[in-house]
Amino acid sequence: MASEKDTSPSGANSLWGGRFEAGPAEIMEKINASIDFDKILYGQDIQGSKAHCQMLIKQEIISAEDGEKILVGLDQVKEEIEAGNFTYDTALEDIHMHVESRLTEIIGDAAGRLHTARSRNDQVATDFKLWVRDASDQMDQALCGLQNALVTKAEQNAHVILPGFTHLQSAQPITFGHHLLAYFEMFTRDRDRLRDARERLNECPLGAAALAGTSFPIDRFQTAKSLNFRAPTANSLDSVSDRDFALEFLSVASICATHVSRLAEEIVIWSSAQFNFINLSDKFTTGSSIMPQKRNPDAAELCRAKAGRIIGALTSLLIVMKGLPLAYSKDMQEDKEATFDAANAFALCIAAMTGMVGDMTVNERAMKASTQNGFITATDLADWLVRVLGMPFRNAHHVTGSLVALAEKKGCDLDGLTLDEMQTVEAKITQDVFSVLTVESSVASRISFGGTAPEQVLAQVKAAKSRIK
């Protein structure tokens, strides 16, 4: 079993220890080993090895007989790992050496032929790319689910009015459906970025070998094709030293996590007793051990926080990569933990957010009541002065400001002023002005493309549904 240290009598590593007289210091073994985290790449590693082996057979670089043994042996290794019958040992450093070492135990010397025309450098780049490619596809699927939840809620709330804010001050009335669709747009861009990055990622490094390519007559187009890559990478040095694909994945995840954190923050605010715009379901909240009345939006808070962790992963890998000379350096082994962790945190976030959006109930009355202060239809009044009285907008803005001051003094909203009172500020104002001062008329009037009017929102919902891929 791989548990027995696969070392020469001197203690040197049997896979690369030919020129070594002694084994590594204990601390060296510890700092060098990546098996604790890269063992999750076993599927990709075996998939890549099988593709490489098939190509070696076809190119007659190894015999069909040895190749067949290798392929069968690799399947067995995979089965053992999946059955939990596999022993890991830090002396074998990483998943690549574990797989090869166990293969040797199973099939003997033929296993040694698998590493012909290959290095762990192109091997790890291939494995990691395969993993990131899968993770991108899963991320895309998860975001599609979140978009569906948003569109469904938006459709149900196309007519629900709440204050729209700038500077978190009441600005203009908007519809809740419109607000939710703003997030739909963000996640659409995130998914576009993902797809775009995936396209760039989709070139196969296998066959770049250690850094310079190989003298064996390999067929890199075949291995690329069998691993579903668009093409082989064009430069062997770049192939083994590139981690852009992980950086791009983390960049997309960071931007998207930032969007999630903004929605999470709004959910925290909306669900507070002071706002009371929404109620979160029991499924996504917790109680307090001391304050029985509490319903804490923990899932939203954690979604807000995970962005920090994901951005941290991006920052960490950028710093690892900066200044590294070509080609591979062991620094690059530090690419994995943060990426795995970020992908995990991301998946949790999106799943929790999808659940929260789907389950939240909307307090239409509280939303509407909250529009009844803050002179939220002041812009509509100014627009009326422009449209009906032909005033330049700047003057209309000034007149409206005076009317707001008057209402504030009187302690009412704009529609609480009488026509006489309004006319003390601007004599030409007529009764017709009151038709634009309600929040309903305000939102209904905002029919410009992409605007907040319920009919626009329903049109946007329809378009969104057809845009979700």
Active site residues: 167, 288
**Can you tell me which of 94, 155, 413, 426 binds ligand ARG, judged by CB under 6 A?**
94
Window 196-225: residues binding ligand ARG (CB under 6 A): none
Tokens of 179: 């607000």
Quote the CA–CA distance of 385 and 399 in Å, as a whole number. Answer: 9
Give whichever of 246 and 257 is closer to ligand ARG, judged by the CB atom: 246
Considering only 99, 110, 124, 264, the residue that binds ligand ARG (CB under 6 A) is 124
Distance separating alpha carbons of residues 375 and 127, to the nearest angstrom: 59
* Binding region for ligand ARG (CB under 6 A) out of 144-152, 283-291, 330-338, 395-403: 330-338
Q: CB of 186: closest distance to ligand ARG in angstroms?
A: 34
Residues 6 or more apart in contact with residue 265 via CB below 8 angstroms: 300, 304
Helix H or strand E encompassing 149: helix 120-156
Task: List Cα–Cα distances, 144 to 185, 266, 283, 465, in angstroms.
Answer: 12, 21, 21, 11
Q: How many CB atoms lie within 10 A of CB 383?
A: 17
Nearer to ligand ARG, 322 or 330 (CB): 330
Is position 332 an interface residue for ligand ARG (rule: CB under 6 A)? yes
Closest approach of Cβ 38 to ligand ARG, in Å?
A: 6
Contacts of 218 (CB under 8 A, 6+ apart): 55, 56, 59, 61, 117, 207
* Minimum gap (Å) between residue 339 Cβ and ligand ARG: 11
Give me the count of residues in the chain: 469
Binding status of residue 121 toward ligand ARG by CB under 6 A: yes
From residue 150 to residue 189, what is the string marking binding to ligand ARG with x (rule CB under 6 A)? ----------------------------------------
Q: Rounded distance, CA 334 to CA 32, Å? A: 11
CA distance 165 to 365: 18
Q: Is residue 34 part of the contact set for ligand ARG (CB under 6 A)? A: yes
Are the beta carbons of 49 and 74 closer than 8 angstroms? yes
Query: Do the beta carbons of residue 243 and residue 317 sit within 8 Å?
Result: yes
Please say whether the beta carbons of 387 and 436 come within 8 A: no
Instruction: Indicate the residue among 183 and 340 with the shorter CB distance to ligand ARG.
Output: 340
| CB 119 to ligand ARG: min, Å | 7
Identify which of residues 19 and 330 has a Cβ nearer to ligand ARG in the complex. Answer: 330
Nearer to ligand ARG, 50 or 120 (CB): 120
Shortest distance, position 83 Cβ to ligand ARG, whole Å: 24
Burial track 384-409 (b if 16+ CB lie within 10 A, e otherwise) = bbeeeeebeeeebbebbeebbebbee
* Min CB(335)–ligand ARG separation in Å: 7
The verdict on 333 binding ligand ARG (CB under 6 A) reads yes
Closest CB to ligand ARG among residues 36, 192:
36
Query: Which residues make up the interface to ligand ARG (CB under 6 A)?
Result: 34, 38, 94, 120-121, 124, 328, 330, 332-333
